[in-house]
Amino acid sequence: MDLNIRIEAIGDATSFERINRAIEYSNILFGSGKDELSLVTGGLSPQSAATALVGSNRVVVCRSGSSGTDIYESGSRVSHCRAFDVPVVDTLGAGDAYNAGFITAAAQGLGLEIANLYGNAVAGYKLMHAGARNFPNQRQLEQFFRDHDGKYVEN
């Protein structure tokens, strides 16, 4: 489940109740750490929020823009992947691009660490192109990995 919360769309406490009910049914929870994960946990830090949201069968993906992405499972961080250092053309759709890359790799049984890397690579590719739906195909993703091997944002 991608939280994808828009602050202007949150009306009242009932909205949060619905979101929290949906979270209970999710196996993978995607969210922006400083915005969405903190918001649904009453203002906890991104790390504390992600840890609090992990369930017995739930993985939490804490996207943090140029700081990369952390994955939490069983109450602790199990993976960190730095963001690729790419020229940014358009950020619209980068979170969705990450999710698509992560889910594709996870569905292939590649594990959380590789899924995190794939998510960041697909998001990195998307950032380099205008439009919300400019995601790479397999050939383009393989070329992205060749072109950007070891080129990460320094934090």
Q: What is the pLDDT of residues 84-143, one digit of tens each?
A: 999 999 999 999 999 999 999 999 999 999 999 999 999 999 999 999 889 999 999 999
C-beta separation of 53 from 33 below 8 A: no
Query: Could you give the C-alpha distances from 33 to 41, 65, 95, 152, in angstroms and in order?
Result: 11, 9, 12, 20
d(CA 96, CA 12): 26
